[in-house]
Amino acid sequence: MTRPQLNPIPLSAVTFDRGTITITMSQGQWSALHAEAYRRGHTLLELDADERPVAAYRRCDCDLCRSTLN
Ligand SMILES: [Zn+2]
């Protein structure tokens, strides 16, 4: 699956707080599971080949983004 444009968030916003769901993915990885997790507003954490976090993504629900995201 081709990864769509995702809304980036700062790595510092990935808190692993109780009750939050964070799913890791390798660079360029995308799957139905990642798509559904993103759609539900969970956090996607991208790891490089050494398993270091390099980016994080979470859907934005503001009016502007909602008009462009399904
Ligand atoms: Zn937004």
Q: Is the pLDDT of residue 70 over 60?
A: no
- List the domain boundaries for the chain: 8-69
Q: pTM here?
A: 0.88
Rounded to the nearest whole angstrom, what is the distance from the C-alpha of residue 65 to the centroid of ligand 1? 4
Rounded to the nearest whole angstrom, what is the distance from the C-alpha of residue 7 to the centroid of ligand 1? 8
How far is residue 45's CA from residue 48's CA, in Å, rounded to a whole number?
Answer: 10
Per residue in 10-30, pLDDT (tens digit) is 999 999 899 999 999 999 999
CA torsion sign for 47, 4, 19, 60 is: positive
Average confidence score pLDDT of the chain: 92
Rounded to the nearest whole angstrom, what is the distance from the C-alpha of residue 50 to the centroid of ligand 1? 31
Rounded to the nearest whole angstrom, what is the distance from the C-alpha of residue 5 to the centroid of ligand 1? 13
Rounded to the nearest whole angstrom, what is the distance from the C-alpha of residue 26 to the centroid of ligand 1? 24
